[in-house]
A and B are shown apart, each in its own frame.
Chain A
Amino acid sequence: MNMPAAPAKPPRKLGIKENYALLTRGLGWETSYEPMDKVFPQDRFEGIKIHDWDKWEDPFRLTMDAYWKYQGEKERKLYAIIDAFQQNNGQFNVSDARYVNTLKLFLTGVSPLEYAAHRGFAMAGRNFRGTSARIACQMQSIDELRHAQTQAHTISHYNKFFNGLHDYPHMHDRVWYLSVPKSYFEDAMTAGPFEFVTAISFSFEYVLTNLLFMPFMSGAAFNGDMATVTFGFSAQSDESRHMTLGLEVVKFILEQDPDNIPIVQRWLDKWFWRGYRLLTLVAMMMDYMLPKRVMSWAEAWEMYFEKNGGALFHDLSRYGIRMPKYHEVASKEKDRLSHEAWGTFYNYTQAAAFHTWIPADSEMQWLSQKYPKTFDRLYRPRLEFWREQQAQGKRFYNNTLPMLCQTCQVPMFFTEPDDPTKICYRESDYRDNKFHFCSDGCKDIFDHEPEKYVQAWLPVHQIYQGNCFLPDANPAAPDFDPLAEVLRYYHMQVGHDGHEYLDSPDRRNWEQWTGKPGVAA
Chain B
Amino acid sequence: MSDAVFIAFQANDETRSIVEAIGADNPQASIVHYPAMVKIDAPGRLVVRRESIENLIGRAFDLRELQVNLISLSGNIDESDDEFVLHWNQS
**Is B28's beta carbon under 8 Å from chain A?**
no
Asked, given contacts A62-B64, A241-B67, whether A16 binds B80 with beta carbons under 8 Å apart, the answer is: yes
Assembly CA distance A77 to B35 (angstroms): 19
**Is A85's beta carbon under 8 Å from chain B?**
no
Assembly CA distance A15 to B83 (angstroms): 13
Residues of A within 8 A of B40 (CB): none
Which residue of A is nearest B87, CB measured?
Answer: A315
CB atoms of A240 and B71 under 8 A apart:
yes
Assembly CA distance A59 to B79 (angstroms): 6
**Is A311's beta carbon under 8 Å from chain B?**
yes
**Is A144's beta carbon under 8 Å from chain B?**
no
A315: contacting residue among B64, B65, B69, B90, CB under 8 A: B90
Within 8 A of B (CB), among A284-342: 294, 307-308, 310-312, 314-315, 318
CB atoms of A318 and B89 under 8 A apart:
yes
CB atoms of B81 and A15 under 8 A apart:
yes
Report the minimal beta-carbon distance from B20 to chain A, rounded to whole angstroms.
Answer: 20
**Is A247's beta carbon under 8 Å from chain B?**
yes
B4: contacting residue among A73, A308, A318, CB under 8 A: A308
Report the minimal beta-carbon distance from A270 to chain B, rounded to whole angstroms.
Answer: 22
**Is B55's beta carbon under 8 Å from chain A?**
no
**Is A119's beta carbon under 8 Å from chain B?**
no
Which residue of B is nearest A247, CB measured?
Answer: B76
Which residue of A is nearest B62, CB measured?
Answer: A66
CB atoms of B77 and A59 under 8 A apart:
yes
A294: contacting residue among B5, B34, B70, B90, CB under 8 A: B34
Assembly CA distance A312 to B78 (angstroms): 16
A-B interface pairs (CB < 8 A), number = 99
Asked, given contacts A16-B64, A16-B81, A315-B89, whether A217 binds B74 with beta carbons under 8 Å apart, the answer is: no
CB atoms of A233 and B36 under 8 A apart:
yes
CB atoms of B4 and A70 under 8 A apart:
no
CB atoms of A315 and B76 under 8 A apart:
yes
Within 8 A of A (CB), among B17-74: 34-37, 62, 64-65, 67-74
Residues of B within 8 A of A60 (CB): 64, 67, 77, 79
CB atoms of B77 and A218 under 8 A apart:
no
Residues of A within 8 A of B88 (CB): 311, 314-315
* Total interface residues in chain A, CB < 8 Å: 40
Report the minimal beta-carbon distance from A152 to chain B, rounded to whole angstroms.
Answer: 21
Assembly CA distance A490 to B91 (angstroms): 55
Within 8 A of B (CB), among A26-64: 59-62
Residues of A within 8 A of B6 (CB): 308
CB atoms of A315 and B3 under 8 A apart:
yes
CB atoms of B4 and A244 under 8 A apart:
no
Residues of B within 8 A of A244 (CB): 73, 77
Assembly CA distance A366 to B38 (angstroms): 24
CB atoms of B10 and A218 under 8 A apart:
no
* Interface-central residue, B64, B72, B77, B81, by most chain A CB under 10 Å: B72
CB atoms of B35 and A240 under 8 A apart:
no
**Is A222's beta carbon under 8 Å from chain B?**
yes
Report the minimal beta-carbon distance from A235 to chain B, rounded to whole angstroms.
Answer: 10
Asked, given contacts A308-B4, A314-B88, whether A236 binds B71 with beta carbons under 8 Å apart, the answer is: yes
Provide the A391-419 mask, 1 if CB < 8 A to any CB of B, else 0: 00000000000000000000000000000
**Is A150's beta carbon under 8 Å from chain B?**
no
CB atoms of A312 and B64 under 8 A apart:
no
CB atoms of B36 and A229 under 8 A apart:
yes
**Is A17's beta carbon under 8 Å from chain B?**
yes
CB atoms of A240 and B67 under 8 A apart:
yes
CB atoms of A218 and B64 under 8 A apart:
no
Assembly CA distance A240 to B81 (angstroms): 19
CB atoms of B74 and A237 under 8 A apart:
no
CB atoms of B90 and A314 under 8 A apart:
yes
Provide the A203-244 mask, 1 if CB < 8 A to any CB of B, else 0: 000100010011001110110000001000100110111011
Assembly CA distance A240 to B86 (angstroms): 12
CB atoms of B77 and A214 under 8 A apart:
no
CB atoms of A233 and B68 under 8 A apart:
no
**Is A370's beta carbon under 8 Å from chain B?**
no
Assembly CA distance A237 to B7 (angstroms): 11
Which residue of A is nearest B89, CB measured?
Answer: A315
Report the minimal beta-carbon distance from A247 to chain B, rounded to whole angstroms.
Answer: 7
CB atoms of A66 and B37 under 8 A apart:
no
CB atoms of A233 and B10 under 8 A apart:
yes
**Is A387's beta carbon under 8 Å from chain B?**
no
Within 8 A of B (CB), among A60-78: 60-62, 66, 70, 73-74, 77
B67: contacting residue among A16, A229, A237, CB under 8 A: A237
CB atoms of B73 and A318 under 8 A apart:
no
CB atoms of B72 and A210 under 8 A apart:
yes
Assembly CA distance A11 to B2 (angstroms): 44
A-B CB contact pairs (8 Å), 7 listed: A16-B81, A59-B79, A206-B74, A221-B37, A233-B69, A233-B71, A294-B34
Further pairs besides A233-B71, A236-B70: 4, Cβ < 8 Å = A233-B69, A294-B35, A308-B4, A311-B75
List B residues at the A interface (Cβ < 8 Å): 3-6, 8, 10, 34-37, 62, 64-65, 67-81, 88-91
Top 10 nearest A-B pairs (CB, nearest first) are A311-B3, A221-B36, A59-B77, A221-B35, A222-B35, A315-B88, A236-B71, A240-B70, A237-B70, A218-B34
